[in-house]
């Protein structure tokens, strides 16, 4: 890699021992620490990209200097990502960072569920919360109740992070029988292939009018 943006050079060199950028990057590793800021409000301390929701900590192995960066910079500049003491190939590094994203999304959903249960302690919400913790996904029915109540209570959440299970015939029947407005509410949480299934059941994707915030 020969082409480093000037701002990246300016940020990495003062914190590194080597004074060529590619050698400087060899000193840095992903420090296995992340922060979910819950809103896209942060800046990458390497490339200065704005609107980051997630920060990943990288550390200089020679002098202990640290930077909070976006995961894209870790991959782009091939900052060392390790697993069980082994430096990962770029492809495996990407896989590992993706797993970390999945984990953070799961944690964000759990946090939203905790908040909604704290606000409205009903049996169905408590059960949905327990179900998510156990299975890492919601049935279509649970998904509707959870996303609806989160919306009603204006609890900050990302609908696309919630995973919905359509594995069993019962879950599919759930979705097939669901009212259109309910399907539209859970639509953002459905994967592309689940949306195809929903359409096979006769459902239609929400139009812009359906999804416009009703304020
Ligand atoms: Zn960056």
Ion ligand 1 contact residues with beta carbon within 5 A: 44, 46-47, 49, 70, 73
Q: What is the mean pLDDT of the chain?
A: 94
The rounded Å distance from CA 127 to ligand 1 centre is 40
The rounded Å distance from CA 24 to ligand 1 centre is 16
Question: Residue 79: what pLDDT?
Answer: 97
The rounded Å distance from CA 121 to ligand 1 centre is 41
The rounded Å distance from CA 55 to ligand 1 centre is 10
| Average pLDDT value for residue range 57-74 | 98
Rounded Cα distance, 40 and 118, in Å: 25
Rg (CA), the chain: 21
Rounded Cα distance, 143 and 31, in Å: 35
The Cα-based distances of 33 to 68, 85, 100, 131, 178 in angstroms read 9, 16, 10, 28, 41
- pTM for the structure as a whole: 0.84
Tens-digit pLDDT profile for residues 90-133: 999 999 999 999 999 999 999 999 999 999 999 999 999 999 99
Question: Residue 4: what pLDDT?
Answer: 82
User: And the tokens for 176?
Assistant: 């097939």
Question: What would you measure as the largest C-alpha separation in the chain, in angstroms?
Answer: 64
The rounded Å distance from CA 44 to ligand 1 centre is 5
Question: Residue 213: what pLDDT?
Answer: 53
Q: Is residue 210 over pLDDT 70?
A: no
The rounded Å distance from CA 186 to ligand 1 centre is 33
Question: In this structure, which long-range contacts are made by residues 2-9, counting pairs with CB atoms below 8 Å and at least 24 apart in sequence?
Answer: 4/77, 5/47, 7/47, 7/48, 8/46, 8/47, 8/73, 8/77
Rounded Cα distance, 160 and 141, in Å: 16
The structural domains of the chain, with segments of one domain joined by +, span 6-80, 107-211
Specify the 3-state DSSP secondary structure of 11.
helix
- Residue 207 DSSP label: P
Tell me the Ramachandran region of residue 69: left when phi exceeds 0, alpha when psi lies from -120 to 50, beta otherwise. Answer: beta
The rounded Å distance from CA 54 to ligand 1 centre is 11
Rounded Cα distance, 70 and 52, in Å: 7
The rounded Å distance from CA 47 to ligand 1 centre is 4
The rounded Å distance from CA 112 to ligand 1 centre is 28
């Amino acid at each position: 890699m020969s082409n480093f943006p000037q701002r990246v050079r300016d940020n990495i060199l003062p914190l590194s021992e080597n004074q060529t950028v590619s050698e400087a990057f060899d000193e840095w590793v992903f420090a296995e620490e992340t922060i979910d800021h819950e809103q896209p409000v942060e800046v990458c301390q390497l490339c200065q990209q704005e609107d980051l929701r997630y920060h990943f900590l990288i550390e200089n192995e020679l002098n202990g200097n640290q930077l909070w960066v976006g995961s894209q910079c870790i991959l782009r500049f091939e900052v060392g990502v390790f697993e069980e003491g082994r430096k990962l190939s770029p492809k495996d590094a990407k896989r590992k960072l993706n797993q970390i994203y999945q984990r953070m999304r799961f944690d964000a959903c759990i946090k939203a569920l905790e908040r909604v249960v704290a606000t409205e302690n009903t049996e169905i919400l408590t059960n949905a919360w327990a179900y998510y913790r156990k299975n890492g996904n919601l049935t279509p029915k649970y998904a509707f109740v959870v996303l609806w109540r989160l919306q009603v209570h204006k609890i900050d959440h990302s609908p696309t992070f919630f995973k919905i299970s359509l594995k069993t015939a019962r879950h599919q029947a759930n979705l097939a029988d669901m009212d259109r407005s309910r399907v539209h509410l859970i639509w953002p949480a459905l994967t592309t292939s689940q949306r195809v299934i929903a359409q096979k059941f006769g459902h239609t994707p929400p139009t812009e009018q359906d999804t416009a915030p009703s304020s």
